[in-house]
């Protein structure tokens, strides 16, 4: 049976529905699996008509709940990918599996892929097949070097020893190194795939331009409407990846500057169809649903600096569940506790201060003469610059200013 899988948090449920519906239009006997990288929080209960839900508790995720806490929504959704793929191959017994990002629309049958997939262990698609123009528009080849050679909005696997070996390696890396941090060489799960053709056997680089067309390769893939279908060079477009979509269609993608609608009038029709499908799938009502793991259990949002500090500490198990706010020796209380007996500076502010040369220059004696000035700065600017909720932060700092 032809199959497809994807991963979403609940605010992307409309995208999962749209992807599944488009796949089943062309593969009516197929099966779609969707991993919910989130908690449903009672927002939906009934089974979906076009796909089967898989929950995080089913896929054997380690370091629970550390991975949910240390990563943001994009990082976490990509970090669980190898666990989900391994689950489908081993525990659900699939001979092969095709993964597609939720912001993809299938526009034609993928018969050639499914027919040839048993010949390979791993199938990847490069971002580009021909050089990008040297026109200073984005993305350029440097941006793609930072993102990775292959786009992990698509990967196809056959259940072989080599595939399982790759998944074990990938899982190990993504448990703690699935970061969106190009300056440090990370681009979530994707950049790691640059190693795969060198480290593993049975890897096929799919160079068919009909697969994984997107804003980054439009320079080489003119999409036209002809004979009742979308085509590239006279062949059917298999699927389009709507990365960086703006629902008002003000531009092709928020991530690119090279192409305009006037360059690709038929592509605009594809986008209008896709947005109509999203709306029919409930996008206006569901796009604002909150991501559970963005919040402590008291409803306070978790800023990026807090996730970064948790990772820096090595996701310490002695804190217990980092989402819990009432644990006496938990991570939440540690954030706001004095860093030492020398000064009542809270641990979170200590981390900020030690990573900011400008603050060290402005407040060179944080435990003495500069202490009051630093606290006044922290009260005003930590909520603005770091997103810490003032409802929590202001009382902490006030108690130290006036101590």
Please count the structural domains in the chain: 2
Predicted local confidence at residue 229, as pLDDT:
96
Same-domain check for residues 247 and 336? no
Predicted local confidence at residue 55, as pLDDT:
95
* Residue pair 251/291 in contact by the 8 Å Cβ criterion: no
Same-domain check for residues 134 and 67? yes
Report the CATH number at residue 221.
3.90.550.10
Same-domain check for residues 273 and 397? no
Predicted local confidence at residue 344, as pLDDT:
79
Nearest to 18 by CA among 111, 110, 106: 106
Same-domain check for residues 225 and 335? no
Q: Cα separation of 117 and 195, whole Å?
A: 20
* Residue pair 278/14 in contact by the 8 Å Cβ criterion: yes
At 208-254, the pLDDT tens digits run: 999 999 999 999 999 999 989 999 999 999 999 999 999 999 999 99
Considering only 52-66, 82-96, 98-112, which range has the smallest mean pLDDT?
Answer: 52-66
Predicted local confidence at residue 199, as pLDDT:
99
Q: Is 33 helix (H, G, I), strand (E, B) or coil?
A: strand
Structural domain including 317 reads 295-401
Distance of CA 214 to the CA centre of its chain: 17
- Residue after which a domain boundary falls, among 243, 261, 286: 286
Percentage, residues of the chain above pLDDT 90: 91
pLDDT of 64 higher than 80: no
pLDDT of 386 higher than 90: yes
Predicted local confidence at residue 72, as pLDDT:
98
Nearest to 145 by CA among 185, 100, 203: 185
**Which residue has 């490069």 as its token pair?**
126
Mean pLDDT for the chain? Answer: 96
Helix (H) or strand (E) holding 332: helix 331-336
Q: Cα separation of 209 and 217, whole Å?
A: 9
Predicted local confidence at residue 315, as pLDDT:
67
The predicted model scores a pTM of 0.95
Q: What is the mean pLDDT of residues 283-301?
A: 97
- Please give the structure tokens belonging to residue 88: 């489908």
Same-domain check for residues 319 and 348? yes
pLDDT of 400 higher than 90: no
Report the 10 Å Cβ neighbour count for 133.
Answer: 11
Same-domain check for residues 109 and 35? yes
Same-domain check for residues 266 and 324? no
How many Cα atoms occupy the beta-carbon half-sphere of 259 within 13 Å?
26
Across the beta sheet with 96-100, the strand order is: 52-55, 31-36, 3-8, 96-100, 154-158, 122-124, 203-205
Helix (H) or strand (E) holding 112: helix 111-116
Same-domain check for residues 99 and 223? yes
At 253-268, the pLDDT tens digits run: 999 999 999 989 999 9
Q: What is the mean pLDDT of residues 186-200?
A: 98
- Please give the structure tokens belonging to residue 37: 């990288």
For 68-84, b where at least 16 C-beta lie within 10 A, e where not — what string?
A: bbbbbbebbbbbbbbbb
Does residue 139 have a cis peptide bond before it, meaning omega lies within 30 degrees of 0?
Answer: yes
> In degrees, to the nearest 5, what angle opens at C-alpha 331 toward C-alphas 330 and 332?
95
Cβ neighbours for 12, distance < 8 A, ≥ 6 positions apart: 102, 103
Same-domain check for residues 59 and 196? yes
At 341-370, the pLDDT tens digits run: 877 799 999 999 999 999 999 999 999 999
Q: What is the mean pLDDT of residues 146-169?
A: 99
Same-domain check for residues 314 and 384? yes
pLDDT category of residue 403 using cuts at 50, 70 and 90: low
Percentage, residues of the chain above pLDDT 70: 100
pLDDT of 198 higher than 70: yes
**Quick one: residue 91, left, alpha or beta (phi over 0 = left, psi -120 to 50 = alpha)?**
alpha
Q: What is the mean pLDDT of residues 317-327?
A: 91
Same-domain check for residues 166 and 35? yes
pLDDT of 117 higher than 80: yes
**Which residue has 């610059």 as its token pair?**
385
* φ, ψ (nearest 5 deg) of residue 32: -120, 135
Same-domain check for residues 23 and 97? yes
Rounded to whole angstroms, what are the CA distances from 28 to 1, 4, 388?
10, 12, 48
């Amino acid at each position: 049976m032809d199959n497809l899988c994807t991963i979403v948090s609940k605010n992307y449920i409309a995208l999962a529905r749209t992807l599944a519906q488009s796949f089943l239009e062309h593969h009516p006997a197929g099966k779609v699996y969707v991993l919910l990288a989130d908690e449903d929080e009672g927002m939906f209960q009934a089974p979906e008509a076009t796909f089967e839900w898989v929950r995080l508790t089913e896929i054997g995720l380690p370091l629970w709940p550390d991975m949910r806490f240390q990563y943001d929504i994009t990082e976490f959704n990509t970090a669980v990918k190898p666990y989900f793929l391994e689950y489908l191959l081993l525990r659900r017994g699939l001979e092969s599996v095709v993964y597609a990002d939720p912001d993809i629309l299938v526009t034609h049958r993928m018969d050639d892929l499914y027919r040839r997939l048993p010949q390979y262990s791993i199938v990847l698609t490069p971002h580009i097949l021909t050089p990008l123009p040297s026109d200073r528009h984005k993305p350029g080849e440097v941006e793609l070097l930072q993102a990775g050679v292959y786009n992990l909005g698509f990967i196809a696997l056959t259940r072989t020893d080599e595939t399982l070996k790759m998944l074990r390696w990938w899982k190990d890396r993504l448990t703690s190194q699935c970061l969106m941090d190009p300056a440090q060489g990370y681009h979530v799960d994707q950049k790691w795939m640059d190693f795969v053709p060198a480290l593993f056997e049975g890897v096929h680089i799919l160079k068919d331009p009909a697969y994984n067309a997107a804003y980054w390769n439009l320079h080489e893939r003119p999409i036209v409407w002809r004979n009742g279908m979308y085509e590239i060079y006279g062949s059917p477009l298999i699927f389009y990846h709507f990365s960086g979509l703006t629902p008002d269609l003000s531009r092709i993608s928020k991530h690119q500057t090279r192409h305009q609608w006037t360059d690709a009038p038929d592509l605009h029709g594809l986008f209008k169809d896709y947005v109509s499908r999203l709306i029919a799938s409930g996008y206006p009502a569901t796009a604002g649903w909150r991501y559970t793991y963005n919040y402590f259990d008291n409803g306070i949002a978790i800023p990026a600096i807090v996730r970064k500090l948790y990772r820096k500490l090595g996701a310490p198990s002695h804190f217990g569940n980092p989402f819990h706010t009432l644990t006496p020796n938990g991570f939440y209380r540690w954030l706001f506790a004095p860093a030492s007996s020398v000064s009542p500076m809270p641990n979170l502010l200590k981390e900020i201060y030690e990573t900011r040369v400008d603050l060290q220059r402005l407040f060179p004696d944080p435990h003495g003469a500069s202490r009051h000035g630093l606290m006044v700065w922290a009260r005003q600017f930590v909520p603005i610059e770091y997103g810490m909720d003032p409802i929590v932060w202001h009382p902490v700092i006030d108690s130290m200013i006036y101590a």
